[in-house]
Amino acid sequence: MRIPRYKFIWMIGDILIVIIGLLITRSIVDKFELFQNSHLNLTYLFGYSYAFLSSLIIIPAIFILVFQYNNLYKANVYFTRANHFTNIIKSHLYTGILIVFYAFIIKFAFIRDSRWFVTIFLFTSIILFFILRIFIFRSIFIFLVKNKIFLQRILLVGAGKAGRILATKLLFENEFGIKVVGFVDDNLEVETPIIQSIKVLGKIYDISRIVRENDINEVIIAIDKLTYERLNEIIETCNDLQIPTRISSELFNIVNKKIEVEKYSNIPIIDATPKFDIKYSLIFKRVFDIIFSFLILLLLSPFLLLISIFIKLFSDCPVIFKQKRIGKNGDTFLFYKFRTMYSIDGEDNERKEKMIDFIKSNKSGSVCDTKIINDNRVTRIGRFLRKFSLDELPQLINVLKGDMSLVGPRPSLPYEYKNYDGWQKKRHSVLPGCTGVWQVWGRSSVSFKDSVVLDLYYINNMSPWLDLQLILKTIPVMLFARGGK
């Protein structure tokens, strides 16, 4: 099971609460005749229209997505009442807007034409979630944990300092029903005692057998002093186990700083578990890429024409800048952008030297960001386009062609790719994207190594839901010019 069992339990509880809230709201609206449309000719089943019955499926699904977006399935939020309740209120505001939008899309008159339905439902739902989720369900879950009826059996990879600290905290500060079964560590002998009765169960190469024999529900990689290459090898080994894999390592500190991750006993735990079957996920991703990029190009075509005219007016340059880039699996493709810079002899060689030094040294400072440019080369219209990332819009043509995806790691230049370490080339194991994790949460404020780590986080967590989140978050990043250069 890729998702922890306790999250499934919470989701089922939320679905029941939403359905109860909908049924109560329907009864109130009917009883007080708050819905006056008498001209409906709908098919009914058990006294409810098919439209309303479909809402008993769609609206709970909306809640699950919004709750996921607002971190209500993270253990540290679930067990903190103030944070829990605040996020529930916020989620209901988003959900109310989505329900109205959904009602207009499917022309569901009962919601659309009743001013009271959404108001009464949201008010009822907040009360139900406050009573049931925050108090009753949470108390039942804690009771099950304390009486060891529900346990999440954890295997820690690494018995060094990081692994010992995490194990100690989970032993003495654990509300989540987590039981540390043992460690795997290549540097210690089997049966070596680590903390209390918790021992080393074997080596990393034998992890599949250890997980099977000990009924492990989740693996946490808690190692600090190792290379990125070795960490990625361990992640891939653990992901083959078909159970949740998480990371607690200083090598992924940039993820903790930029993204709100789950915490176990106040220690950040980064999810590295593929959420969906990669084959079907990629099919869905490609279909969405084609539809979305085509519609955006169609809608923005007058605006794109206007940008092209301004480029020609303010600079004697070709409108479209074309460049060879590295795509999936190291293959090259022709990359499109609006031209924003003058062409100067020798400038590319200077940039190339700086970029290679940036990749190799990972230095901090004014030079060391993810975009090394000479400001003197940028045209007047180019400054505006780059600030708001409008120069990136022609990449939608690359998306339609299948060279890129809407969301993914950034495509690199050939000479950059040649200077990557082995682990850094893994960012090209998927299609590059127009936007991605580091563009949204990092932009020009992160180092090269950190940008790769953020890309690897995306690859390990790639899903339609994460793609949608990143697309939505890209809009304010562009509008407010955060980090654009």
Do 36 and 113 lie in one domain? The reply is: yes
* pLDDT the model gives residue 460: 86
In a domain, 485, yes or no: no
What are 141-171's pLDDT values in tens digits? 888 888 888 888 999 999 999 999 999 998 8
Confidence check: pLDDT of 273 > 70? yes
pLDDT band at 462 (very low <50, low <70, confident <90, very high): confident
pLDDT band at 365 (very low <50, low <70, confident <90, very high): very low
Do 69 and 166 lie in one domain? The reply is: no
In a domain, 452, yes or no: yes
* pLDDT the model gives residue 104: 78
Do 198 and 134 lie in one domain? The reply is: no
**Final residue of a structural domain among 271, 293, 327:** 271
pLDDT band at 368 (very low <50, low <70, confident <90, very high): very low
State the residue range of the domain holding 331.
Answer: 278-479
Confidence check: pLDDT of 366 > 50? no
In a domain, 48, yes or no: yes
* pLDDT the model gives residue 5: 79
What are 79-103's pLDDT values in tens digits? 888 999 999 999 999 999 888 887 7
* Helix pair angle (5-31, 50-69), 10° resolution: 140
In a domain, 78, yes or no: yes
Confidence check: pLDDT of 277 > 70? no
Confidence check: pLDDT of 397 > 90? yes
pLDDT band at 356 (very low <50, low <70, confident <90, very high): confident
Question: In sequence order, what are the beta bridge partners of 268?
Answer: 263
In a domain, 457, yes or no: yes
Do 47 and 165 lie in one domain? The reply is: no
Higher-confidence residue: 108 or 145? 145
Burial class (CB in 10 A: 0-12, 13-18, 19+), 454: buried
Under a CB-based contact definition with an 8 Å cutoff, are residues 287 and 406 in contact?
Answer: no
Do 349 and 465 lie in one domain? The reply is: yes
DSSP, collapsed to helix, strand or coil, labels residue 198 as strand
Higher-confidence residue: 349 or 66? 66
Question: Average model confidence (pLDDT) for the chain?
Answer: 85
What are 34-82's pLDDT values in tens digits? 555 544 444 444 445 666 778 888 999 999 999 998 999 998 899 888 9
Confidence check: pLDDT of 266 > 60? yes
**Angle CA(239)–CA(167)–CA(154) in degrees, nearest 5?**
35
In a domain, 484, yes or no: no
pLDDT band at 403 (very low <50, low <70, confident <90, very high): very high
* pLDDT the model gives residue 375: 66
* pLDDT the model gives residue 35: 56
Which amino acid, one-letter code, is at 241?
A: L
Do 89 and 203 lie in one domain? The reply is: no
Burial class (CB in 10 A: 0-12, 13-18, 19+), 154: buried
Do 341 and 413 lie in one domain? The reply is: yes
Which amino acid, one-letter code, is at 147?
A: N
Number of domains in the chain: 3
Do 133 and 181 lie in one domain? The reply is: no
Higher-confidence residue: 257 or 162? 162
Q: Lowest-confidence range among 114-118, 201-205, 296-300, 422-426?
A: 114-118
Confidence check: pLDDT of 363 > 70? no
Share of the chain above pLDDT 90, in %: 43
In a domain, 357, yes or no: yes
Closest CA to 437 of 231, 283, 254: 254
Do 257 and 283 lie in one domain? The reply is: no
Across 264-268, average pLDDT: 88
Q: Lowest-confidence range among 195-204, 267-276, 357-366, 419-428?
A: 357-366
pLDDT band at 306 (very low <50, low <70, confident <90, very high): very high
**Final residue of a structural domain among 215, 245, 271:** 271
Do 121 and 267 lie in one domain? The reply is: no
What letter does residue 136 receive in the DSSP assignment?
A: I
Under a CB-based contact definition with an 8 Å cutoff, are residues 274 and 2 in contact?
Answer: yes
Beta strands 44-45 and 48-49 are antiparallel
What are 5-32's pLDDT values in tens digits? 788 889 999 999 999 999 998 888 877 7
Confidence check: pLDDT of 283 > 70? yes
* pLDDT the model gives residue 52: 74
**Final residue of a structural domain among 247, 271, 295:** 271
Do 458 and 353 lie in one domain? The reply is: yes
Q: What is the CATH number of the domain that holds 230?
A: 3.40.50.720
Do 179 and 263 lie in one domain? The reply is: yes
In a domain, 138, yes or no: yes
